[in-house]
């Protein structure tokens, strides 16, 4: 594949250079090395941002972990319904990024700016509703999740604080999606770097009561997270108001039904995908919860580290979404495909390196979270399973990102439905409960899920039908 791939990449890039003299979005590289630099210019800041976010989450969990398995379980069980609630916002952001990327690729900056305003108006209303519901029904939600008596009060307090700051988080997500669609991954990185450093410091001060601050324990972690999200919101809003080369938060905030319809139309399959995914994850967690607090603790540490493993794939997926969207917007589908392939190759290499860390050093990574020998042993086993699926996981993320940039959001939905419910939940239940493999069986189901989704997405990408998607 190597020589043919490089040859096709050069041809595609030369075509891009010949045909896009007036194009305002992407740079016009004239070699594979220049293409890689372009990918890294987009993926690099996102990778750094996600790395910091992930490491902050890990630090959060490590600090909470010192409070005992019940504290870990409380945060873990709370995060799952929070992620479920974010499904519609993530979907809306997919539509926002795709429409803005297409508009800028076509040189229609005014449409891109209006798309950002439409997204923000809808997100603010939805965010307020979700925040109120989460705060009001926190206890009921944790009961549904199967929280045990020692976990329920900790989880309820944590969820109420997180819900109170939810609207700031979802508006920040919308602004980030808009900026990334315009090819600006640096501003979100900077804003979130400041916010996440604040989060770590806040965790230390408020969980343990250092330097005269109250010792709040688990609620302290939630309060630090909420403060950090407010800071990210303020910084991103400043960027949007001051503007960049393509986006500027000016103009009337009036409903544009046609444009909002475009955003929602692209986002609806992603919304359904997220609901399917989060519902499956909730069911998956409930399966694991039946094995007791120690297993939940090991599972949650594993999921926390799994979020780290998502980092390369998601960062390069952002690059793929932007590059494919702008390439198609400029009327150059072959260039868009070349960008996606190059992005996949680079992301898979990074994920492969991460796989080795999980396989070889899983025990030592687990020891960063807890001193409980049983939790350490179970977590190390989970991480070895996680390591073996890294290349497939990265492929699934990156190529799905390319499909979303094209507006082809139905196939990521299909792959998620089949993978999560057909394998993670169904096969995981059989292996964990029926066959008695418990946590190992549940994670084997997760691994098969990732392999299945990767295969489905790769087949769809190779078909080339995504090039004809309408946005």
Q: 124 by DSSP, 3-state: which?
A: helix
Distance CA 68, CA 375 (A): 11
What would the pLDDT profile of 245-275 be if each residue is shown by its tens digit?
A: 678 887 788 888 888 888 888 888 877 887 7
* DSSP category for residue 256: -
Please count the structural domains in the chain: 1
Sign of the Cα torsion 48, 196, 60, 394 reads negative
Question: 218: which DSSP letter?
Answer: H
What is the C-alpha to C-alpha distance for residues 103 and 190, in angstroms, rounded to an integer?
25
Q: What is the pLDDT of residue 34?
A: 66
pLDDT at position 35? 66
173-228 pLDDT, tens digit per residue, is 899 888 888 878 788 888 988 998 898 899 889 988 898 898 888 888 889 989 99
pLDDT of residue 138: 84
- For the record, the structure tokens of 232 come out as 């990210």
Distances (CA, A) of 456 to 245, 384, 396, 413, 421: 37, 24, 8, 11, 15
Render 175-190 in DSSP notation, one character per residue: HHHHHHHTT--HHHHH
Domain hosting 32: range is: 2-468
CB atoms within 10 A of CB 417: 17
What's the length of the chain? Answer: 471
Nearest-angstrom CA–CA distance, 287 and 140: 19
User: Where does residue 8 rank: exposed (0-12), middle (13-18), buried (19+ CB within 10 A)?
Assistant: middle
pLDDT at 5: 36
Q: Report pLDDT for 84.
A: 72
User: What are the phi and psi torsion angles at 94 (to 5°)?
Assistant: -60, -45
Name which of 10, 7, 13 is nearest 27 in CA terms. Answer: 13
pTM above 0.75, yes or no: no
Given a cut of 50, the residues of the chain with pLDDT beneath it are 1-28
pLDDT for position 92 = 78
Looking at residue 451, its pLDDT comes to 94
- Give pLDDT, residue 27: 44
CA-nearest of 354, 54, 347 to 192 is 54
pLDDT at 422: 92
Residue 7 is predicted with a pLDDT of: 40
Q: What is the pLDDT of residue 244?
A: 64
Q: Which candidate, 221, 238, 168, 228, places its Cα nearest to that of 194?
A: 228
């Amino acid at each position: 594949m190597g020589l043919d791939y490089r040859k096709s990449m050069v041809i595609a890039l030369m075509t891009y250079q010949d045909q896009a003299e007036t194009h305002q979005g992407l740079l016009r590289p004239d070699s594979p090395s220049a293409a890689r630099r372009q990918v890294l210019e987009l993926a690099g800041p996102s990778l750094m941002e996600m790395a910091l976010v992930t490491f902050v989450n890990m630090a959060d969990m490590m600090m909470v972990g010192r409070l005992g398995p019940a504290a870990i379980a409380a945060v873990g069980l709370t995060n799952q319904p929070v992620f479920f609630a974010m499904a519609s916002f993530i979907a809306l952001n997919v539509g926002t990024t795709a429409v803005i990327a297409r508009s800028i690729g076509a040189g229609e900056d005014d449409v891109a700016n209006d798309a950002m305003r439409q997204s923000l108006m809808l997100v603010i209303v939805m965010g307020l509703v979700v925040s109120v519901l989460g705060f009001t029904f926190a206890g009921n939600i944790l009961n549904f999740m199967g929280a045990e008596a020692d976990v329920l009060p900790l989880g309820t307090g944590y969820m109420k604080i997180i819900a109170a700051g939810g609207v700031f988080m979802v508006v920040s997500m919308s602004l980030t999606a808009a900026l990334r669609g315009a090819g600006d991954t640096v501003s979100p990185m900077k804003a979130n770097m400041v916010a996440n450093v604040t989060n770590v410091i806040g965790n230390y001060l408020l969980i343990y009561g250092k330097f005269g601050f109250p010792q709040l324990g688990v609620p302290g972690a939630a309060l630090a997270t909420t403060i950090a999200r407010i800071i990210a919101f303020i910084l991103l809003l400043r960027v949007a108001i001051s503007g960049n080369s393509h986006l500027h938060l000016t103009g009337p905030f009036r409903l544009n039904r046609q444009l909002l319809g475009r955003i929602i139309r692209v986002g609806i399959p992603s919304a359904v995908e997220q609901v399917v995914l989060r519902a499956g994850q909730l069911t998956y967690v409930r399966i694991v919860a039946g094995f007791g607090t120690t297993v939940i603790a090991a599972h949650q540490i594993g999921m926390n580290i799994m979020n780290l493993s998502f980092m390369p794939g998601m960062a390069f997926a952002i690059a793929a979404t932007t590059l494919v969207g702008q390439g198609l917007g400029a009327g150059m589908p072959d260039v868009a495909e070349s960008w996606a392939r190059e992005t996949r190759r680079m992301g898979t290499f990074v994920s492969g390196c991460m796989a080795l860390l999980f396989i070889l050093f899983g025990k030592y990574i687990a020891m960063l979270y807890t001193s409980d020998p049983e939790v350490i042993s179970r977590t190390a086993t989970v991480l070895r399973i996680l390591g073996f699926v890294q290349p497939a996981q990265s492929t699934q993320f990156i190529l799905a990102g390319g499909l979303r940039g094209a507006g082809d959001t139905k196939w990521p939905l299909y792959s998620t439905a089949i993978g999560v419910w057909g394998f993670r939940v169904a096969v995981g239940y059989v292996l964990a409960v029926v066959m008695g493999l418990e946590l190992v069986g549940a994670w084997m189901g997760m691994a098969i899920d990732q392999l299945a989704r990767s295969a489905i997405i790769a087949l769809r990408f190779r078909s080339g039908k995504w090039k004809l998607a309408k946005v």
